[in-house]
Amino acid sequence: MKEETRILHEIPVDELTGAISVPIYQTSTFVQEAPGVNKGFDYSRSNNPTRATLEKTIASLENGSQGFAFSSGLAAVDAVIKLLKAGDEIVAVDDIYGGTFRAFEHIYSKFGISVKYVDTTDVTNVIDAISRKTKMIWLESPTNPTLKISDLSSIAEIGKDLLLVVDNTFASPVLQKPLDLGADIVIHSGTKYLAGHSDVIAGLVVVGNEELAEQIKFNQNASGAVLGPFDSWLTLRGITTLQLRIEKQCQNAQHVAEFLSTCSVVDEVFYPGLVAHHNHDVAKQQQLGFGGIVSFSLKDDSIEAATKFATSTKLFKLAESLGGVKSLLCHPASMTHKSTPEEIRHKTGIKDSLIRLSCGIENCDDLLDDVNQALAAITYGEVVV
């Protein structure tokens, strides 16, 4: 089956009633036939039928062994990091999501887990960073927010004895399947493209083998940060339209990126779909599309200029998060990456004026007009599409 058909029909009809929509099993516990004898469910922290359907669905979409649903993307990150022990080391992409960076630096460092940050767009940097202590390679591709692209297959090849974790949030399983490229674990903030309507907080993990599945399942149950039945249902409902939404968002993002590239007040544009983007050819090879996120910096590299743009848009709403049907924008330096030290932000390309746009499914001309008038507000002049 083609992907859009498979996505729809991976979500099963309810066997008990024939309901076309997955039932919401809003229950904390399940009656047992005898002590320890049940229908596969005993307590909703350990397992829940609605959540189980979501977990099976995301595992199938990522071509994985098993999937696991968590109460947030960072809860998913937590379950994966708990595969490590004191003294272990992670080699991570330098342009990493601010929440993951914060967790690495301020939580896991207390327990003896260290992290080396490198520019993983060059495979040799990864090779040079690996030491005897290295147990895990942590990638985002594309990254948040400068959309760096790493060669997943090449990095998987050099790190055969290490766990390769790929945060696939920006691409989604529609555009990229990291397990097929050699990754061991895939992470999603289900809040973003998978749920797709800015109405749920969710995290997902997919693993490639049963041994890892047992360990993640243990961490999920022991720590308890599970996704509730209703949020599982919302995420499942969002997945049904994932293919359609992603196609439209990719189209809009491509046009917005191309327009920004022509604007005199814009300094740099970050979008893997632009030929000038570093590792554009790698993205073209390992992704089926370039995604719905566009980032750009201004020639006036100041927080004031970025703030003027961010408060002048009408359709692009200034808000945390991304991937929803409505277009959003954020200023990473003061929002998503505020906890990342300034010198590290600048080193990884997150300038003070960097703006991240999450293109929704609106009419493209309307989005271009909105970007145009917001840029004009910076210069009090006219920017013509």
Task: Report, as residue numbers or ranges, the catalytic residues.
Answer: 45, 97, 167, 192
Q: Provide the sign of the torsion angle of the four alpha carbons 170, 173, 176, 178, taken in this order.
A: positive
Residue type, 132: R
- Tokens 């041994």 correspond to 211
Q: Token digits for 116? A: 């080396």
Residues in Cβ contact with 259 at an 8 Å cutoff, skipping those fewer than 6 apart: 368, 371, 372, 385
* 80 Cβ contact list (under 8 Å, min separation 6): 165, 185, 187, 205, 216
Task: Look up residue 159 and give its two tokens.
Answer: 């790190």
Phi, psi of 308 (to 5 degrees): -60, -45
Pairing label, strands 293-298, 266-270: antiparallel
Question: What residues contact 187, with CB distance under 8 A and at least 6 apart?
Answer: 73, 76, 77, 80, 165, 166, 167, 168, 169, 203, 204, 205
Q: Tell me, what amino acid is at 141? A: S
DSSP label of 198: S
Rg (CA), the chain: 21
